[in-house]
Amino acid sequence: MDSEFVTYVLFSKTHNKIYIGFTSNLIARFLSHNKLGKGFTAKYRPWEVVYLEVFPTKKAAMQREKELKSFRGREFIRNAVLEK
């Protein structure tokens, strides 16, 4: 049985920061961004999930993550997802 993979966008309202990633376990990954560990995301807590897409393969999720991290992808997130 294959897993599903999720490409996701987190947003920190407090710091006006976007984080883009992919995972096969969104709940665990979200917990790690908000409660556990160190690194980039620890500095900008709290995070909220503002966008996600589900893919049947890791390769597809990684490709979409790459697209969202591009200038056009970030523009899409700012304009379509975060615009109030």
Domains of the chain, by residue range, sit at 5-81
pTM: 0.91
- The CATH number of the structural domain formed by 5-81 is 3.40.1440
Q: Is the pLDDT of residue 1 over 80?
A: no
* Backbone angles phi and psi of 22, in degrees to 5: -140, 155
Per the CB < 8 A criterion, the answer to whether 14 and 44 are in contact is yes
Residue 9 burial (C-beta neighbours within 10 Å; 0-12, 13-18, 19+): buried
DSSP code string of 16-48: TEEEEEEES-HHHHHHHHHTS--SHHHHT---E
pLDDT in tens, 26-49: 999 998 899 987 788 999 999 999
pLDDT at 22: 97
